[in-house]
Chain A
Amino acid sequence: MGFLQSGLDSLPVLAAMMQFKPPAASSVANSVDQLYLMLTGITIFFSVLIFSIIFYFMLKYRRKTPGESGTATHTPMILELTWTIIPSLICVVLFVWSSSLYVRNGRPPAASTEIFVIGKQWMWHLQHPEGPREINELHVPVGVPVKLTMTSQDVIHDFYIPAFRVKKDVLPGRYSQIWFEPTETGTFHLFCAQYCGTNHSEMIGWVYVMSPTDYTTWLAGGEKTESMAEQGERLFSQFGCGSCHSADATGRAPSLAGIYGKPEKTQNGETRIVDETLIRQAILVPNSVHLPNYQPIMPTYQGQIDEEQMSQLIAYVKSLGSEERMNGK
Chain B
Amino acid sequence: MAELATHGAHPPGFAHQFEDIEQQRDAGRLGMWVFLVTEILFFGGMFTSYTIYRALHLAAFIQGSHQLEVKFGATNTAVLIFSSLTMALAIRAAQTGRKKGQIIFWLLLTMLLGALFVGLKLRFEWYRDYVDGIIPGVHWFYNGPQAPGVKMFMCFYFFMTGLHAIHMVVGLGILTVLVIMTARNRFSAEYYSPLEISGLYWHFVDIVWIFLFPLLYLIGGRY
Contact = CB atoms under 8 A, between A and B. Distances in A.
B146 interface: yes
A285 B147 CA distance: 11
Interface residues of A, number: 5
A187 to B, nearest CB: 43
B59 interface: yes
Top 4 A-B residue pairs of the complex, sorted by shortest distance between their CB atoms: A268-B58, A287-B146, A288-B57, A290-B59
Nearest to A267: B59
8 contacts: A268-B58, A285-B148, A287-B59, A287-B145, A287-B146, A288-B57, A288-B59, A290-B59
Contacts of A288: 57, 59
Interface of A: 268, 285, 287-288, 290
A290 B145 CA distance: 15
The CB with the most chain B CB atoms within 10 A, among A287, A288, A290, is that of A288
Contacts of A268: 58
A271 to B, nearest CB: 15
Nearest to A302: B148
Interface string B139-172: 0000001101000000000000000000000000
Chain B contact patch, size range:
under 10
Nearest to B148: A285
A321 to B, nearest CB: 30
Contacts of A290: 59
A287 B57 CA distance: 11
A173 to B, nearest CB: 12
Contacts of B58: 268
B160 to A, nearest CB: 23
B163 to A, nearest CB: 28
B210 to A, nearest CB: 27
Nearest to B146: A287
B16 to A, nearest CB: 37
A88 to B, nearest CB: 30
A288 B148 CA distance: 11
A268 B57 CA distance: 11
A288 B145 CA distance: 11
Interface string B52-63: 000001110000
A163 B147 CA distance: 46
A57 to B, nearest CB: 41
Interface in B53-86: 57-59
A7 to B, nearest CB: 59
Given A287-B145, A287-B146, 4 more contacts: A285-B148, A287-B59, A288-B57, A290-B59
Nearest to B57: A288
Contacts of A287: 59, 145-146
A27 B175 CA distance: 69
